[in-house]
Structures are given as structure tokens and as C-alpha cells.
Amino acid sequence: MNVGESQPGFIDSNIWLYRFILNPRDADAIPKQQIATTITNYQNSLISTQVVNDVCSNLIRKAGFNNPQIQILLEELAQGCEILPVSLETLQYSVKLRDRYSLSFWDSLIVASAVLGDARILYSEDMQDGLIVENTLQIVNPFRDLSLISG
């Protein structure tokens, strides 16, 4: 994917984690971090409370973030992103999407949040790259070209 052609959309947890955590065992860690930083710098991106919870939990556990660091992160997320709640409507819609698109429980919540938030792109490494959901949302793996180069 040419990141220069990217646009704001819904950003899954894994993209945020690549921004903050470098995996020394991943040969593509630095390019992934650069791509993730570009995507997460877009203003008006969408995330859900599920993404916020997942990112914070992993940063505390894997990167040793402390409470003041988490508080700063939360403030930055609130300034740069629209944070969508995981509501009853989101949960109910995710059940339909899970059946229709064979998604996992957690992935269906992310996709439901993205669709209900009117996102056109969902950036995620973990879901089916190129999948079109409800004729409105495209799942994009921003790292797919890296696997072609290194793989």
C-alpha cells in the first residue's frame, strides 16, 4: 500500500501498537512503525472504546507504560480521533456481521464500529485485506507490500 494515498479511516489496535512498540524479532519493525505513525497521525480518524482499551492494556503490559503515560495517550487520542462507544447497537450489529463475513467476535466489533461510524477504510493487519463490508467499508492491511518485499 502506498501510504501517501492513505486517508483517515478507522484504525485497529494493531496499527497503534506498531506505532509505540518495536519488536526486535520483526525484520519489518521499523517500516511498520513508520507506516503506523503516518496513519495514526491523520486527524479525524475513528477508533472505538474497544481499541482504546486494547491499546492501553497492551502498552501497560508489553511496553511498561505507567498511568501518567496512559493519561497523556488518552488525551492525545481524544484530540486527534473520534472515539466511538461500543454500544448495544454495535454489539447487535456485530452479530450480523460475524455471520455474514465469518469474522471473529472481536473483529466483528471493530468492523461494526467502523461501519456505524461511517468509515470508508478500516486499517488492520489482522483482518482480510481487501474485504469490502456492506458495500461501504474496505479493510486495508497497510503492511501488505512489506510482506512482498521481505517475504
Q: Is the pLDDT of residue 2 over 60?
A: no
Residues 60-113: pLDDT tens digits? 999 999 999 999 999 999 999 999 999 999 999 999 999 999 999 999 999 999
Residue 84, phi then psi, degrees to nearest 5: -90, 135
Residue ranges making up the domain that contains 15: 10-140
Q: What is the pTM of this model?
A: 0.89
In a domain, 149, yes or no: no
Set of cell numbers at residue 77: 487520542
b/e code 11-27 from CB counts within 10 Å (16+ = b): bbbbbbbbbbeeeeeee
In a domain, 151, yes or no: no
The model's confidence at residue 147, banded by pLDDT at 50, 70 and 90, is low
In a domain, 110, yes or no: yes
In a domain, 104, yes or no: yes
Sign of CA dihedral 88, 89, 90, 94: positive
- The CATH code of the domain that includes 134 is 3.40.50.1010
Residues 101-112: pLDDT tens digits? 999 999 999 999
Q: How many domains does the chain have?
A: 1
The model's confidence at residue 145, banded by pLDDT at 50, 70 and 90, is confident
In a domain, 109, yes or no: yes
In a domain, 96, yes or no: yes
In a domain, 5, yes or no: no
In a domain, 150, yes or no: no
